[in-house]
Every structure is written in structure tokens, then in C-alpha cells.
Structure 1
Amino acid sequence: MPFPCAVRNEALRLLRLLGNEHRLMIGCLLIFHGELSAGQLAKKLNLRQSALSQHLSRMRHDDVLTFRRDARMIYYRIKCQNMAKLIYNINIMYLSEGRLIVSHK
């Protein structure tokens, strides 16, 4: 039975978004850590702040991330539960092979 159009489009949107290595890693880190600042994400990903900012902006625009501001710090977390489930299941697939996409560090 084919997926309804809205469901198919949502799945395609999430898969396209996570098809980028950096956005997949951002999602993984936020799932495992719950919430991280932009600076923490940049350090863990070894990514320049400007490059990270572009990925975070895209993910916020696609409504999969949310953030809170604490003075000058911005903390990000997963907003889209379907994206969280997708990343979690990807990790489960690789965990069964003895690997994780990202560590808990």
C-alpha cells in the first residue's frame, strides 16, 4: 500500500535534510546530549562557527530544531520527534554492527 502523499513528502524532507553529513551529526549529537550550545556543537564537529551557523539555520528553517537563549549563549535541541526517531533508528542499525554514528562524548 503506498504512503499518503503528506507522509511521503515528510519522509523525503527529513531524509534530504539528514543526507548532509554535518546535519546528520548535529542531529545525532543533540539526541545523545539533549541540548548543546552552538559553541559546543562547533567544537564536537570540528566545524567553523560560520559553517555550523548555516546548518543550524537550515535545520531551524525546516522546523526540526528549537533553541533557547541564555544571556549570550544559544542552546539547540531537537524539536521534530520524527527526525529524532529516524536518527535513533539509524544508530540502532549501526549499533547492531558494533558501531555508533556518534559517540556520547
Structure 2
Amino acid sequence: MFYGESLENTFHGAVEATKFLKSISSPHRLLMICAAMESPGVTNGEMAQKCGLSISAASQHLTKMCEDQILYKEKEGQKSRYYVKHETTKDIIYALKKAYEDKDG
């Protein structure tokens, strides 16, 4: 990812990658991103149910991931619908799924 770039560009890329990885470094957040990929426009309540979280906990995770530019929300009346913001995020999640599928814990 960073090979062959100038050290300055590499550092900037490493900082951004670290921010991203820190933001998704929770099993609940990974599940929530997967849920948003599988059901674009999922609501907070639907997300909580799919991921086995309270609505309050789901809301806190969703707020953090929106702040970190992982997800974005669109208001629909009183509901907010959540979507994955960047295709790169989807690519990384697919790569993680592939890397860890069929692995023994």
C-alpha cells in the first residue's frame, strides 16, 4: 500500500490507515458495517437488532462511524438511514472477510 512512495506520502497514508483501522477495531462496528453493506439504508433500530445491540449502543457506534467518515446517514422523516460512505471501506471489509473466513478461532 505504501511501498514505493515518498516517506512523507507514506506517513500521511499510514496516519489515515491507522485512523480507519482504529475506527473499525470493534467486532460490533465490523458487524454494523457488514449490515450496512448487506442492507443499505438500514435504520438504527434495524442495526441494533441485526447486531444484537441495544438501540443506545448501536446509536453510539453509528455516531462514531459517521464522525470518522466510515458511514453516512440520510434523514427520512424521524428515521435516519445508514450507508457505507466509501467503496474503499467495502473493499477492505471484503478483504477481511476473505482473509478470515473458514479460520479456526
Structure 1: 5+ residue runs without aligned partners?
A: 100-105
Using the TM superposition, give the Cα deviation of residue 49 of structure 1 relative to its aligned residue in structure 2, in angstroms.
Answer: 0.9
Question: What secondary structure is seen at the aligned counterpart in 1 of 2:69?
Answer: coil
Offset of 1:22 from its aligned partner? 1.0
Tell me the CA shift for residue 37 of structure 1: 0.8
How many residues matched?
A: 98
Query: Residue 49 of structure 2 is aligned with which of 43, 48, 55?
Result: 43
d(CA) in 1 for partners of 2:71, 2:30: 12
Could you list the per-position Cα deviations for residues 13-37 of structure 1 after superposition, in whole angstroms to 9, with x for gaps in the alignment? 1111111111111111111222211
Unaligned runs of 5+ in 2: none
TM-score under structure 1 length normalisation: 0.82
> Radius of gyration: which is bigger?
2
Matched, 1:91 2:81: no
Report the TM-score, using the length of structure 2 for normalisation: 0.82
Residue type at the aligned position of 2:11? C
Identity of aligned residues (%): 26
Superimposed CA distance per residue, residues 16-64 of structure 1 (whole angstroms, 9 cap, x where no aligned partner): 1111111111111111222211111011111111111110111111111
Query: Which residue of the partner structure matches residue 20 of structure 2?
Result: 14
Q: Give the ranges of 4+ consecutive aligned residues of structure 1 lying more than 6 Å apart after TM superposition.
A: none
Letter in 1 for 2:26: N
